[in-house]
Amino acid sequence: MVAKQIRDEITAEVLKMKEAIGVVPGLAVILVGDRKDSVTYVRNKKKACESVGINSFEVRLPEDSTEQEVIKFISKFNNDPSVHGILVQLPLPSHMDEQNVLNAVDIEKDVDGFHPLNIGRLAMRGRDPLFVPCTPKGCIELLHRYAVEIKGKRAVVIGRSNIVGMPAALLLQREDATVSIVHSRTKNPEEIIKHADIIISAVGQPNMVRGSWLKPGAVVIDVGINPVEDANSPRGYKLVGDVCYEEACKVASAVTPVPGGVGPMTIAMLLSNTLSSAKRTHNFQ
Ligand SMILES: Nc1nc2c(c(=O)[nH]1)N[C@@H](CN(C=O)c1ccc(C(=O)N[C@@H](CCC(=O)O)C(=O)O)cc1)CN2
- Give the CATH number for residue 141: 3.40.50.720
Q: What angle do CA 108, 106, 47 make, to 5 degrees?
A: 75
Q: Is residue 274 part of a domain?
A: no
Residue 44 belongs to domain with CATH number: 3.40.50.10860
CA of 35 to the centre of ligand 1 (A): 12
CA of 111 to the centre of ligand 1 (A): 14
Q: Is residue 125 part of a domain?
A: no
Pocket flag, ligand 1, residue 156 (CB < 6 Å): no
**ipTM value of the model?**
0.98
Q: Is residue 38 part of a domain?
A: yes
Report the domain count for the chain: 2
For residue 134, which atom of ligand 1 is closest to its CA? 7
Residues 163 and 198 in one domain: yes
pLDDT tens by residue, 197-210: 999 999 999 999 99
Q: Indicate which residue of 109, 110, 112, 137 is catalytic.
A: 112
Pocket flag, ligand 1, residue 134 (CB < 6 Å): yes
45 is catalytic: yes
Q: Is residue 3 part of a domain?
A: no
Q: What pTM, to 2 d.p., does this model score?
A: 0.97
Q: Is residue 254 part of a domain?
A: yes
Residues 148 and 53 in one domain: no
Other CB atoms within 10 Å distance of the CB of residue 127: 10
Residue 72's pLDDT band (cuts 50, 70, 90)? very high
pLDDT tens by residue, 32-45: 999 999 999 999 99
Residues 193 and 103 in one domain: no
Residues 144 and 79 in one domain: no
5 is catalytic: no
Residues 61 and 161 in one domain: no
pLDDT tens by residue, 234-263: 989 999 999 999 999 999 999 999 999 999
Mark 8-21 as b/e (b = at least 16 C-beta within 10 Å): eebbebbeebeeee
Residue 196 structural domain? 134-263
